[in-house]
Amino acid sequence: MAGKSPVTADEEQRKALQALAHSRNRGEADRARAILLTLSGWTSPRIAEAFGVREDAVPVA
C-alpha cells in the first residue's frame, strides 16, 4: 500500500509504544516496533522486509 499512513500518535502514546517494543511478548513487541516505524515514515513493504514477513502480515499500513 503506497502513500502516507494515517496512523498518528502523540508523545505519550509514542513513549508507551517504545516501552511495549521491549516487551518479553515477541508479538506485542513486534507490533509496537512496526507502529513506531510507520510513525517514522516507513512503508508496509519496507517494514515487511525488515521483519522478514509478507507485507500483508504487517499490522499497520
Q: Which amino acid is at 43?
A: T
Q: Which amino acid is at 30?
A: D
Rounded to whole angstroms, the Cα distance separating 38 from 44 reads 8
Q: Which DSSP letter does residue 24 get? A: S
The pLDDT score that the predictor gives to residue 39 is: 94
Distances (CA, A) of 20 to 13, 24, 25, 30, 52: 10, 9, 9, 9, 20
Q: What pLDDT digit, counting tens, does each position of 16-53 carry?
A: 999 999 999 999 999 999 999 999 999 989 999 999 99
The pLDDT score that the predictor gives to residue 2 is: 55
Q: How confident is the model at residue 6 (pLDDT cuts 50, 70, 90)?
A: confident
The pLDDT score that the predictor gives to residue 12 is: 98
What is the pTM for the complete model shown? 0.85
